[in-house]
């Protein structure tokens, strides 16, 4: 039962781009005057329509299956979740289908079912209560290859964050399949800043950080990135990024870690809530 529900949430994530992202793409398309940029938007919007209409993946790279689990400590299903996720990924690979994207780090041999050493990736968070929320974020290789970490000095501060993010987006150009969504994690440590950056991608396009100071930086960075003119698929245009999401944590006084995770136009995500009576709720 739980396996069935996770298969369906994975299917939803890879076949249906969330409405907030589709709306942002449509708005960007309307603003665009350049012929090639408009053509690229038309192709992206068409791929999204076909994916949803035919229930097939919107992109051939269905990504690495990444899960964020918020597990209520009183849930009767706690012990079953990890096994159910792994089994669901195997089944989804056959049934959706997903491209087998898990290869052995030494031999390069593909496991054939998107599972293997450390994958699917599962991030756990224990919370109060008896419900479990599972978020799935299928992450494509092209955009993941543009991820980066900067260990800034505290003196470089937020000006350093801005420079690092803009320079990395510029250096990547069309590689992450723009228009992109930018996830930035600031603080914690090296590993935690990257985790925050990926988690930031679960927020809706247009949803600002509740801290107004951070929200202001998100908006400013978005403007600066779009001024680069990289445009859809890197062929020029007004929209390079649909949004910038920043998540923060306290930092060591001597460190200023900045994790950057770039998500492509295929901004795939879906959520499942598992109630203690076995009932499930799915949304994007």
Q: Is 148 in the site for ligand SF4 (CB under 6 A)?
A: no
232 or 257: CB nearest ligand SF4: 232
Within positions 36 to 55, which residues make up the interface with ligand SF4, using CB under 6 A? Answer: none
Strands (E) across 46-197 are located at 64-72, 121-127, 132-139, 148-152, 180-188
Tokens of 282: 């799915």
22 binds ligand SF4 (CB under 6 A): no
Binding mask 233-272 for ligand SF4 (x = CB under 6 A): -------------------------------xxx------
Phi, psi of 150 (to 5 degrees): -125, 130
Q: In the complex with ligand SF4, which residue's Cβ is closer, 142 or 236?
A: 142
* 8/61 with CB nearer ligand SF4: 61
Could you give the string, one character per residue 105-144, with x where binding to ligand SF4 holds by CB under 6 A and - elsewhere?
A: -----------------------------------xxxx-
Pseudo-torsion of CA 226, 229, 231, 237, nearest 10°?
110
Q: Measured between alpha carbons, how far is 107 from 24 in angstroms, rounded to an integer?
A: 41
Phi/psi for 261 (5° steps) reads: -125, 125
What is the smallest separation between the CB atom of 265 and ligand SF4, expressed in angstroms?
A: 6
Shortest distance in whole angstroms from residue 231 CB to ligand SF4: 15
Q: What is the DSSP pairing of strand 121-127 with strand 270-274?
A: unpaired
Q: Pick the binder of ligand SF4 from 59, 92, 132, 225 (CB under 6 A).
A: 59
Q: Count how many residues are written for the chain.
A: 284
Which ranges of 115-260 would DSSP assign to H, the alpha helix? Answer: 141-144, 157-172, 190-200, 212-226
CB of 274 to ligand SF4, least distance (A): 28
Question: Do the Cβ atoms of 269 and 205 come closer than 8 Å?
Answer: no
Q: Which range touches ligand SF4 (CB under 6 A), out of 57-65, 102-110, 161-169, 248-256?
A: 57-65
Residue closest to ligand SF4 when measured from CB atoms:
140
Owner of token pair 């792994």: 86
Per DSSP, the three-state class of 61 is coil
Q: Does 209 bind ligand SF4 (CB under 6 A)?
A: no
**61 touching ligand SF4, by CB under 6 A:** yes
* Comparison of 265 and 271: residue with beta carbon closer to ligand SF4: 265
Q: Is 17 in the site for ligand SF4 (CB under 6 A)?
A: no
Cβ neighbours, 10 Å, residue 213:
9
- CA 232 to chain CA centroid, nearest Å: 18
Q: To 5 degrees, how large is the angle CA 58–CA 274–CA 198?
A: 50
Using CB under 6 A as the binding rule, whether residue 177 contacts ligand SF4 is answered as yes
160 binds ligand SF4 (CB under 6 A): no
Q: Smallest distance, Å, CB 174 to ligand SF4? A: 9
Q: For residues 171 and 242, what is the distance between their CA atoms, to the nearest angstrom?
A: 18
For ligand SF4, give the closer residue by CB, 177 or 246: 177
Q: What is the contact surface with ligand SF4 in residues (CB under 6 A)?
A: 59, 61, 63, 140-143, 176-177, 264-266
């Amino acid at each position: 039962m739980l396996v069935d529900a996770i298969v369906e949430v994975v299917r939803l994530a890879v076949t249906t781009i969330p409405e907030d992202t589709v709306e942002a793409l449509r708005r960007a398309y309307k603003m665009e005057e350049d012929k090639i940029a408009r053509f690229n938007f038309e192709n992206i919007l068409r791929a999204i329509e076909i994916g949803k209409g035919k229930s097939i993946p919107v992109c051939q790279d269905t990504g690495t299956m990444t899960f964020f689990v918020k597990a209520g400590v009183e849930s009767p299903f706690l012990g079953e979740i990890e096994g159910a996720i792994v089994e669901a990924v195997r089944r989804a690979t056959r049934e959706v289908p997903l491209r087998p994207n898990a290869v052995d780090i030494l031999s390069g041999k593909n496991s054939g079912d998107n599972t293997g050493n450390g994958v699917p990736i599962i991030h756990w968070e224990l919370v109060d209560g008896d419900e479990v929320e599972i978020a799935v974020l299928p992450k494509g290789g092209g955009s993941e290859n543009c991820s980066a970490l900067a260990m800034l000095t505290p003196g470089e501060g937020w000006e350093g964050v801005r420079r690092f993010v803009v320079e990395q987006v510029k250096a990547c150009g069309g590689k992450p399949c723009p228009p992109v969504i930018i996830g930035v994690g600031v603080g914690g440590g090296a590993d935690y800043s990257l985790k925050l950056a990926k988690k930031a991608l679960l927020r809706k396009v247009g949803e600002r950080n509740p801290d107004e100071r951070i929200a202001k930086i998100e908006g400013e960075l978005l403007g600066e990135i779009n001024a680069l003119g990289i445009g859809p698929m890197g062929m020029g245009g007004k929209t390079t990024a649909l949004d910038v999401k920043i998540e923060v944590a306290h930092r060591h006084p001597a460190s200023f870690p900045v994790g950057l995770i770039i998500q492509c136009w295929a901004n795939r995500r879906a959520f499942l809530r598992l109630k203690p009576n076995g009932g499930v709720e799915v949304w994007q």
